[in-house]
Amino acid sequence: MTFEEDTPQAPPITPIKLINCANDMLLRPKAIVGYPLGYRGRYIVLSHFGSVMGLHVREFEDSLAGGKFPTKRGVRLDPMQACALNFHMKEIRDISYEGKKNRTYHLGRRLFLNINQDFGTSIDLRHFFVLKEEGGSLQPTRRDVRLSVIEFEKIMISMPIIIQKWPELAKIEMPCFVAHGQQNGQQDLMNCQHCTPDDDAF
Fold of 79-191: Transcriptional Co-activator pc4; Chain A (2.30.31)
**Domain segments of the chain as ranges:** 79-191
pLDDT at 66 over 70: no
Helix/strand/coil (H, E, C) string of 18-83?
Answer: CCCCCCCCCCCCCEEEEEECCCCCEEEEEEEECCEEEEEEEEEEECCCCCEEEEEEEEEECHHHHH
* More confident call, 170 vs 138: 170
Q: What are the angstrom distances between the C-alpha of 28 and each of 7, 66, 88? A: 35, 12, 30
Q: Which residue has the higher pLDDT, 18 or 33?
A: 33
pTM of the model as a whole: 0.79
- φ, ψ dihedrals at 80, nearest 5°: -70, -35
Distance CA 155, CA 123 (A): 12
